Structure 1
Amino acid sequence: MISAKLIEQAENHVDFGAFFGELATMVGYRTESTSAGGRVALKAYLDEILTPALAGLGCSVTEYPNPDPAGGPFLVGTRVESPESPTVLCYGHADVVDGQSGQWRDCRDPWTLTAEGDRWYGRGAADNKGQHLVNITALRLLLADQGALGFNLTWLFETGEEIGSPGLAEFAAAHRDELKADVLIASDGPRLDATTPTLFLGARGGVGIMLDVDLRPDAYHSGNWGGVLRNPATTLAGAIASLVDGHGRIQVPELLPPELPDAVRAALAGVQVANSPGDPVADEGWGDTSLTAAERLYGWNTLEVLSLGAADVDNPVNAIPGRARAILQLRYVAGTNVDHLTEVIARHLATHGYPMVGVTMLNSFPASRTEIDGTWPQWAKQTLEQVTGKPVAVLPNIGGSLPNHVFTDILGLPTLWLPHSYPGCLQHAPDEHMLRPIAREGIVLAIALFHALGNQVSSGKDSQ
């Protein structure tokens, strides 16, 4: 266990304003990966914030160009204490989404960290600057207290996570030796809720699917041609309903995972979703009601309609449109076979009388997870529960997306994600914020995990 003195130092770091001041400086860098100006700010953030921070941890620091021209550079920091010690790989991303200036409440500036009660508003406060600052702070405090970490440390920062991590997989594959480690410990995404310390072990994947019913170039009068010409909007509605019914239940067995593993079911028993003030209320009867809400969100697949349209919805005319389109997304867990998704969906639609519906796969990202009953997750859960004195939620994966597959599938690592945010943080939206209590507790949790690893070298590897 970490000492009471070290816990007090961690809490004081937040209570006396040091953490807020450093985060305010970080938020001030407009590191949008979607703009030319943001690319300049990202380079400055690497040079002026992250490189000194990693050097302060005793790391040698190298910046690498991205093999994909769509992405920005990578930063790698390396501290080697002993070849016999375990190595931890940490990860974070320096980029943020668009600041959405002018859309924040009370005229807040997204690039100025603003404290209102326990909420610290600013772009990147939760995603991901505040989260990687928690872990950097924990390592600093541990190093100052012990004079050593007790393990080797590698940090990997990317600058394009918000645009799909271009080049990250290729970079990891080309730098396997430099990124070789025993475990990934990283922070991104939300906790289960604001008050529940959480570990998650991976991420659901996602595939965009466009359905296009393009029947004719012109629209024809609905009185003169109704009942004679096929309506593409009606056809599209029927096609979608054959894939996912009006209650959110997937109708195509090939779009579902083969099973809900017993270990996943056991881990999710008792987990409550939508459990924070301000969360939307989960709809009863939506999705596969043989599963709990937690099982549907973290252990199962969902097919969502993201957009749907034909003609001009706001200004309809008495005409049968010639074309209708929809964008769907399959969110899926590890174990789902998505290799032939176009063929599977097209064949299903044709079988159900909709051969005229075109199917096109759009952007995608893979699912991955570390086995929930493995050595590393069990060790981490026990460590965190010892320092918190309360249950820690262990999720097989978050519902959203992260480049976890790079670490599990390419680098072959067990992955432990310790998030320092919560579902209501409004990441990617105006009024993004970090909660002060989560930052305060997060530093303690991170120190506990790093301390336990450095002082329990015999914790062992996860066989996955």
Structure 2
Amino acid sequence: MTKETAITAISDYFDTGAFTDELAGLVAFETESQNPDQAPELMRYLREPMTDRLSRMGFSCEIHANPVASAHPILVARRQESADLPTILIYGHGDVIRAQQDQWREGLHPFRLKEEGARLYGRGTADNKGQHLINLAALEAVLQTRGALGFNCCVVIETGEETGSPGLAEFFEAHKDAIGADVLIASDGPRLQPGTPTLFMGSRGGLTFDLVVDLRDGAHHSGNWGGLLADPAMILAQALSCITDARGQIRVPEWRPESLTDDIRAALRDLPIEDEDGPSVDEDWGEEDLTPTERAFGWNSFAVLAMTSGVPEAPVNAISAKARATCQLRYVVGTDPAEILPALRRHLDAHGFSAVRVDPCETGLFQATRLSPDHPWVRFVAGSLTRTSGQAPHILPNLAGSLPNDVFADILGIPTVWVPHSYRACSQHAPDEHVLTSVCRDGLRLMAGLFWDIGAEETPR
């Protein structure tokens, strides 16, 4: 039995439709972690398809209550082959973002997988059910071909990532020994381009907060009171305009990182940022003296996610009492997360906006992490993917999005290597979420090859 045998087996798994059928079963679980009514579905996802599949593969499985009250459960599965072998940690999340069912185009449903041409549509296909299914199926192909993995393996599936992974850090602190490993190899996020494998070794952090201007009780007639009562929406708009300039360049001094060093610039220099399926990059937006790739992966970005004042769906002739903007800072290593909101408070006060309140959101904070592209485990994984695919992968120091990578990098103290199986135009967190069949098939082959190599070769220690 050879590596090629395992790759052929996983190719057949996809080509016969077995992957699509299994993914359809996972998508059918309505695991919206942002919807309190779906808490039973989150537990059922762990108890049924995840525990069943991993148990068949010789893993011992245990579902743990979340250490944070009302947060969602965590599955830990472990297969121990020998104390002399390396241990690989695999992570995924079974929860999905809100379905947004009424916004999907005709003929699609978030919880019914549908294949159209080269795409598989359904909530969780890209984020993250399809991705952790690819990794588990690739593990199984190696196990069935060789009769053993050739390494120890721990799998963690959480169900609260879309609400900021509450309790995950506390859980890892309490279970370090049970979850200990030599390296994390996991999958989330997109490839830079669909046809080329991607590696990333960390992620930007993310912090969401509200800016609120609350001036009085109730709205008042705009004819009688216009010009006499301060307009909270205008105050808020002016406050937002002091956070960035007209092209979105950050003006809060502490939000401008100093960690875009020469080695990070070199790692990002030749990487693509656009593909034919995604929107065109606005060249006149963002930090003027940075390349688009540096802006996305090496710099901080501020966004206004939503704004309200009055009743947008049914405006009335009144000066509103309150305005609110939900905002977000995506930040790189080198930005102190504890100083993000205090720095904003000082900045708003200095510009005369003491009436603007800064309220942290309840969702968890994602920390920024980064691993050197020259780390031995990065070289090992990149070499395996290159041999299997015949092309070198794109290698990023960190993802532009946010993940709970700090629980692995900081709490467990292990290197983290992510191999995504989606692409940037997959509509994750939006209606019509989908994956490309070509990327799924390729991902299955790459991961079967990688897991084979880990069990067959000398790995970094």
Q: 1:226 to 1:41 in 2, by over 3 A?
A: closer
SS of 2:91's equivalent?
Answer: strand
User: How far off its partner does 1:227 sit?
Assistant: 6.5
- 3-12 or 181-190: which moved more? 3-12
Q: 1:361 to 1:281 in 2, by over 3 A?
A: same
**Amino acid aligned to 1:97:** I
**Mapped partners of 2:49, 2:216: distance in 1:** 56
1:26 is aligned to: 26
SS of 1:267's equivalent?
Answer: helix
Say yes or no: does 1:63 pair with 2:63. yes
- 328-337 or 225-234: which moved more? 225-234
- After TM superposition, list the pairs within 5 Å mapping 1:209-220 onto structure 2: 209-217=209-217
User: How far off its partner does 1:177 sit?
Assistant: 0.1
2:161 is aligned to: 161
SS of 2:176's equivalent?
Answer: coil
Do 2:5 and 2:145's aligned partners in 1 also have CA atoms closer than 8 Å?
Answer: no
SS of 2:247's equivalent?
Answer: coil
Q: 1:236 to 1:109 in 2, by over 3 A?
A: closer
User: How far off its partner does 1:223 sit?
Assistant: 7.5
- After TM superposition, list the pairs within 5 Å mapping 1:380-391 onto structure 2: 380-391=381-392
SS of 1:178's equivalent?
Answer: helix
2:121 is aligned to: 121
**Amino acid aligned to 2:286:** G
**Mapped partners of 1:97, 1:353: distance in 2:** 37
Q: 1:409 to 1:318 in 2, by over 3 A?
A: same
- Give me the TM-score of the superposition, normalised by structure 2: 0.92
Residue segments in structure 2 that go unaligned for 5+ positions in a row: none
RMSD across aligned positions (CA)? 2.3
**Mapped partners of 1:346, 1:283: distance in 2:** 30
**Mapped partners of 1:227, 1:111: distance in 2:** 50
1:199 is aligned to: 199
User: How far off its partner does 1:269 sit?
Assistant: 1.2
**Mapped partners of 1:199, 1:327: distance in 2:** 31
SS of 1:365's equivalent?
Answer: coil
1:392 is aligned to: 393
**Mapped partners of 2:36, 2:437: distance in 1:** 32
CA distances 1:293-349 after superposition (whole Å, capped 9, x unpaired):
111111110111222343345666666555433222111012211213333222222
SS of 1:349's equivalent?
Answer: helix
**Amino acid aligned to 1:438:** V
- 350-359 or 28-37: which moved more? 28-37
Do 1:369 and 1:404's aligned partners in 2 also have CA atoms closer than 8 Å?
Answer: no
User: How far off its partner does 1:442 sit?
Assistant: 0.3
**Mapped partners of 2:336, 2:204: distance in 1:** 13
1:411 is aligned to: 412
SS of 2:401's equivalent?
Answer: coil
1:357 is aligned to: 356
1:324 is aligned to: 323
**Mapped partners of 2:299, 2:444: distance in 1:** 32
User: How far off its partner does 1:380 sit?
Assistant: 1.5
User: How far off its partner does 1:262 sit?
Assistant: 2.5
Residue segments in structure 1 that go unaligned for 5+ positions in a row: none
**Mapped partners of 2:172, 2:62: distance in 1:** 14
2:286 is aligned to: 287
**Mapped partners of 1:99, 1:243: distance in 2:** 32
**Amino acid aligned to 1:366:** Q
1:110 is aligned to: 110
**Mapped partners of 1:127, 1:339: distance in 2:** 28
SS of 1:108's equivalent?
Answer: coil
User: How far off its partner does 1:218 sit?
Assistant: 6.2
**Amino acid aligned to 1:8:** T
SS of 2:444's equivalent?
Answer: helix
CA distances 1:252-285 after superposition (whole Å, capped 9, x unpaired):
22012222033321221122223132x1111121
